[in-house]
Amino acid sequence: MYYNYVSSEVKELARERKYTDEDLFQATKQMIITDGYEAFTFSKLATALDVSRGSIYKYYENKDELISEFLMYEMNSFLKKFNELDKSGDFQTQFDLLIDFIFEQSNIHQVVEIIHQIPINTTKRVEDNKSKLSEYYVDMYEQFQGFIELGRKENVIKNHIPTAVLLGMIFQTIAIPNHFGIPQAEWISSIKEILSHGMFEK
């Protein structure tokens, strides 16, 4: 439904510049992950892309316009890849695929949280983008809700635990810091075991 979104401004910019929209969004992503929203500036972005600030300001009034479009780009990419997962298996098979996928896309949690840092009173373009992002969130939630319902249908998931709690637990696992450098495969396997069977011996 939303997965081929690239704004007309981005398309026009791509025709006139020496870098692609992929370059623009990847540089934006790296800066946000490394420095955060507050430290993000067009000056730093222009330096990273080896272009003038004016070439960016020509199409974006401020950083919030660029960041909000970058967020839509990221959500589109996430949802497209999620839709390409094989969902033909039983719940346990899909659970393993889902956890592996979430860790492969581990930056999505950090990136989408940026939307809450964008000021309320901004340009109409940003407000429109934020409205579209809300639609993406609903789409994502509904798809993952369907995953939980499959688990309930197969009597794998306890019915009395709210779906929001279950999804929160699943998605928050990628934010757990691996301070002791446990190998990734062992780390993910342990996360799966805790989510599936808990931490207590029976």
φ and ψ at residue 174, rounded to 5 degrees: -75, -15
pTM of the model: 0.80
Which two structure tokens, joined as six digits, stand for 148? Answer: 């939980």
pLDDT tens digit at each of 202 positions of the chain: 555 555 655 555 554 556 788 999 999 999 998 999 999 999 999 999 988 898 899 889 999 999 999 999 999 999 999 999 998 999 999 999 999 999 999 888 777 788 889 888 889 999 999 999 989 888 888 889 999 999 999 999 999 999 999 999 998 898 899 999 999 999 999 999 999 999 998 7
Distance CA 113, CA 125 (A): 19
Helices (H), the chain: 8-16, 21-35, 42-49, 53-57, 63-83, 91-104, 107-112, 124-153, 163-172, 184-197
- 115 touches 130 (CB < 8 A): yes
